């Protein structure tokens, strides 16, 4: 009797090439992408078109795009198992974005929180792309008919808009797009700033001691953890009001697999100095294989080029089908 296997669901996630991801990005999301690759039919993209809503220096942008692509491979993503591509290499993203913009209301875009935040951060460059980029994000998602999209709280509003746009388009023209769901998978650590543990760790923080970059050298990682804000109790335990220690315990738990109770037992009678060193060493060990793989990949740019070209071809095949279906439904001549 022939064995029936359940078809894998489709999942999609994108990352902007706006700087090296932090330890928070890695433990909170990127580390878990490898598992997604095994469990789903996966699309992963470097969302380079989104980066230009803020003015970029062309040579730096080009290098960051390549470095971000290499980092995705360095964390373990396999371009033979997943469709791993660069957004701007697939013209259907921009093409579908225009079609969807005509099914998106001005008021919807004006309510987007990130538009308001970025307008305040860059008042000298409030461009049309900054206003409409959630439509491009909707196109990124809907082109590949995903069942799920992993999102953090800061991106949930964008997924809801994509769902609304897809539903409106389907209602106006007939079913074209699958309505994706938010993916709630294994939760990584919510990593907070080392300098201000009430704030989320961010690569845009002006204080470079507040975050760990995935590519930070071991001695830099050690220095930053030694400077991490704690409290005056000098006892390693998880408790309300101990935000700094709670944050370090969360990081240590994520890199060692130990529970908070085990961590408290391990450091009973020891001070914060010993604990900070241990956390730093665990992070250095966690990131070392990623950093080494990244260095190897950046030294073989011909291989990277082969991978992102193949990824673009795979993405183009799927996205072209969705785009053509949308165009036909709207009345365009595509034959």
Say yes or no: 38 and 111 in one domain. yes
Q: What is the CATH number of the domain that holds 280?
A: 1.10.240.10
Q: What tokens were used for 289?
A: 């294989």
* Residue 7 confidence (pLDDT): 81
Q: Could you tell me if 237 and 278 lie in one domain?
A: yes
Q: Quote the pLDDT of residue 2.
A: 37
Q: Specify whether the CB–CB gap between 229 and 221 falls below 8 A.
A: no
pLDDT in tens, the chain (335 residues): 334 345 889 999 999 998 889 999 999 889 888 888 888 999 999 999 999 988 899 999 999 999 999 999 999 999 999 999 999 999 999 999 999 999 999 999 988 887 877 777 778 888 888 899 999 999 999 999 999 998 876 678 889 999 999 999 999 999 999 999 998 766 566 899 999 999 999 888 889 999 999 999 999 999 999 999 999 998 999 999 999 999 999 999 999 999 999 999 999 999 999 999 999 999 999 999 999 999 999 999 999 999 999 999 999 999 999 999 999 999 999 88
Catalytic residue chosen out of the listed positions 118, 224, 242, 276: 118
**9 catalytic, yes or no?**
no
Whether 62 and 167 share a structural domain: yes
Q: b vs e for 77-100, b when ≥16 Cβ sit within 10 Å of the residue's Cβ?
A: bebeebbbbbbbbbebbebbbebb
pLDDT, position 208: 92
Residue 200 among the catalytic residues: yes
Three-state SS at 151? coil
Determine whether 118 is an active site residue.
Answer: yes
The rounded distance, in Å, linking the Cα atoms of 149 and 223 is 36
**Is residue 143 located within the same domain as residue 239?**
no
Check if the beta carbon of residue 92 is closer than 8 Å to that of residue 143: yes
Distance CA 165, CA 69 (A): 29
Residue 189's pLDDT is 67
Residue 258 and residue 175 share a domain:
no
How many domains does the structure of the chain reveal? 2
- CA separation for the pair 130, 55 (Å, rounded): 11
Distance CA 179, CA 165 (A): 9
Q: Which domain holds residue 248?
A: 208-295
CATH of the domain at 143: 3.40.50.620
Which helix (H) or strand (E) element contains residue 43? strand 41-46
| 7, 81, 199, 200: the active-site residue | 200
Q: Are residues 94 and 217 in the same domain?
A: no
20 and 90: one domain? yes
The answer as to whether 172 is a domain residue is yes
Say if CB 83 and CB 42 are below 8 A apart. Answer: yes
Residue 215: per-residue pLDDT: 96
């Amino acid at each position: 009797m022939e064995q029936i296997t359940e078809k894998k669901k489709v999942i999609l996630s994108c990352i902007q090439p706006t700087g090296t991801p932090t330890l928070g990005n890695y433990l909170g999301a990127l580390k878990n992408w490898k598992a997604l690759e095994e469990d789903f039919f996966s699309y992963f993209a470097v969302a380079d078109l989104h980066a230009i809503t803020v003015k970029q220096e062309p040579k730096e942008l080009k290098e960051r795009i390549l470095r971000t692509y290499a980092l995705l491979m360095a964390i373990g993503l396999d371009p033979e198992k997943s469709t791993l591509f660069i957004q701007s290499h697939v013209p259907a993203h921009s093409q579908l974005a225009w079609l969807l913009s005509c099914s998106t209301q001005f008021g919807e875009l004006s309510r987007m929180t990130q538009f308001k935040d970025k307008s305040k951060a860059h008042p000298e460059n409030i461009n049309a792309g900054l206003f409409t980029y959630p439509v491009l994000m909707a196109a990124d998602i809907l082109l590949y008919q995903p069942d799920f999209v992993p999102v953090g709280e800061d991106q949930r509003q964008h997924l809801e808009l994509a769902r609304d746009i897809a539903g409106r388009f389907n209602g106006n023209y007939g079913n074209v797009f699958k309505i994706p769901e938010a993916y709630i998978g294994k939760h990584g650590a919510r990593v907070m700033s080392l300098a201000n543990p009430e704030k989320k760790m961010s690569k845009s923080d002006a204080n470079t001691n507040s975050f760990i970059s995935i590519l930070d050298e071991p001695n830099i990682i050690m220095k930053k953890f030694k400077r991490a804000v704690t409290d005056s109790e000098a006892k390693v335990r998880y408790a309300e009001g101990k935000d700094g220690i709670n944050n370090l315990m969360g990081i240590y738990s994520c890199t060692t697999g130990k529970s908070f109770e085990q961590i408290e037992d391990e450091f009973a009678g020891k001070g914060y100095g010993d604990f900070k060193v241990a956390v730093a060493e665990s992070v250095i060990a966690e990131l070392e294989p990623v950093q080494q793989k990244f260095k190897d990949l950046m030294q073989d740019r011909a291989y990277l080029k082969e991978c992102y070209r193949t990824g673009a071809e795979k993405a183009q095949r799927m996205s072209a089908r969705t785009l053509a279906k949308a165009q036909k439904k709207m009345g365009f001549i595509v034959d």
